[in-house]
């Protein structure tokens, strides 16, 4: 996003949070919060600060979800997951401080490549997928599912290191154990982004906790499709059209868009995007390993 397209910042450059973090510039925003690059004046390092939007702070549901995101991210220690360092408040607005990953999102990488007419190589997609799947697996081992896996929530730096970010729709077994029901499991709540959301979340069925990670497998499969083709598996004029695609339409073949790729990739992506969770890969790493196998066979 160009400087002219950026929104008016909530925090201006030079603002000091908790007597420690000096705001440097706007980085991005989501549905709940705004993210800034900041300087940790005590430890003398760059960090990212996510602060809750003022219009969301008065909603206890959203405030709880924001707090839960920080707890979930802080509970996972893995090289492929953005780390949370601290939490605080700026007036009435809660914030948390996390690892700053300089570079771009995978969505930006994909968009830039296809705008220039350059398809992403299967090997590069496999490298991204390998790292993302390891981060998501580390989350699962902590009793957490992401809930909104997509290329814009994968950060990638100049050394091609990938880290999973934005746990805004996270579901946590720890929260359930504490008696807190994940908002993403409430009737009528559509967890995830329409382009990547699993069919069971679209239909509103009650997803058992032990199957939550299979929603992430599906979203990761949709992300792979986008990395390889430049667009999601289901497109339409409206969000409803896209959601109906997830529910009822078989995923298109990747090789219809990318005839240069091995035909075996079609079967891998189709399995990842199976409508029935039981028919998918049962772990994100299984999907990554199958894509790697296709790469090795094509070498």
Give DSSP secondary structure letters for 199-219.
HHHHHT----GGGHHHHHHHH
Q: Domains in the chain, start-ordered, CATH in brackets?
A: 3-99 (3.30.200.20), 104-298 (1.10.510.10)
CA distance 49 to 29: 11
8 A C-beta contact, residue 222 and residue 198: no
Q: Smallest Cα–Cα separation from 89: which of 26, 43, 166, 33?
A: 33
Span 62-100, pLDDT tens digits: 888 888 888 888 889 999 999 999 999 999 999 999 999
User: Residue 104 and residue 247: Cα distance in Å, rounded?
Assistant: 31
pLDDT of residue 70: 87
pTM: 0.89
Ranges of the chain whose pLDDT falls below 70 = 1-9, 168-191
Angle, helix 264-272 to helix 212-229, in steps of 10 degrees: 140
279 Cβ contact partners less than 8 Å away, ≥ 6 residues apart: 271
Q: What is the pLDDT of residue 167?
A: 76
**Inter-residue long-range contacts of 178-187, CB under 8 Å, 24+ positions, other chains counted:** 180/64, 180/68, 182/68, 183/61, 183/64, 183/65, 184/147
pLDDT for res 180: 41
Residues paired with residue 49 on neighbouring β-strands, in sequence order: 36, 97
Mean pLDDT of all residues belonging to the chain = 89
pLDDT at 179: 44
Distance CA 49, CA 35 (A): 5
The pLDDT tens digits for 127-154 are 999 999 999 999 999 888 898 999 999 9
Which residues does the annotation mark as catalytic? 148
Residues 6+ apart with CB under 8 A from 167: 69, 72, 73, 144, 146, 147
- C-alpha pair distances (Å), 163 with each of 24, 76, 82, 250: 22, 12, 6, 30
**How many whole angstroms separate alpha carbon 49 and alpha carbon 88?**
10
Residues contacting residue 235 through CB under 8 Å, at least 6 positions apart: 241, 242, 245
Q: Kindly provide the b/e burial profile for residues 124-147, where b requires at least 16 CB atoms within 10 angstroms of the residue's own CB.
A: ebbbbbbbbbbbbbbbbebbbbbb
C-alpha span between 212 and 209 (Å, rounded): 5
């Amino acid at each position: 996003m160009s400087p002219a397209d950026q929104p008016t910042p909530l925090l201006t450059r030079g603002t000091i949070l908790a007597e420690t973090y000096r705001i440097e510039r706007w980085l991005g925003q989501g549905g709940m919060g705004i993210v800034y690059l900041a300087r940790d004046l005590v430890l003398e390092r760059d960090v990212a600060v996510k602060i809750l939007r003022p219009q969301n702070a008065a909603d206890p549901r959203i405030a709880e979800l924001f707090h839960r995101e920080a707890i979930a991210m802080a509970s996972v220690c893995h090289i492929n997951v953005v780390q949370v360092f601290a939490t605080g408040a700026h007036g009435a607005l809660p914030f948390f401080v996390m690892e700053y990953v300089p570079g771009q999102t995978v969505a930006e990488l994909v968009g830039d490549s296809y705008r220039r007419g350059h398809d992403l190589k299967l090997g590069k997609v496999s490298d991204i997928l390998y790292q993302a799947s390891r981060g998501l697996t580390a989350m699962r081992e902590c009793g957490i599912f992401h809930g909104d896996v997509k290329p814009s929530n994968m950060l990638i730096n100049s050394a091609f290191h990938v880290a999973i970010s934005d746990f805004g729709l996270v579901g946590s077994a720890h929260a359930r154990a504490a008696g807190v029901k994940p908002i993403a499991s409430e009737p009528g709540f559509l967890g995830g982004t329409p382009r990547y959301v699993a069919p069971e979340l679209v239909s509103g069925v009650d997803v058992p906790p032990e199957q939550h990670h299979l929603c992430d497998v599906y979203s990761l499969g949709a992300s792979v499709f986008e990395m390889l083709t430049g667009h999601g598996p289901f497109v339409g004029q409206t969000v409803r059209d896209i959601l109906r695609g997830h529910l009822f339409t078989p995923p298109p073949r990747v090789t219809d868009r990318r005839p240069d790729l091995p035909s075996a990739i079609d079967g891998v992506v189709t399995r990842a995007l199976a409508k029935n969770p039981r028919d998918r890969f049962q772990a994100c790493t299984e999907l990554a390993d199958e894509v790697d196998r296709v790469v090795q066979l094509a070498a």
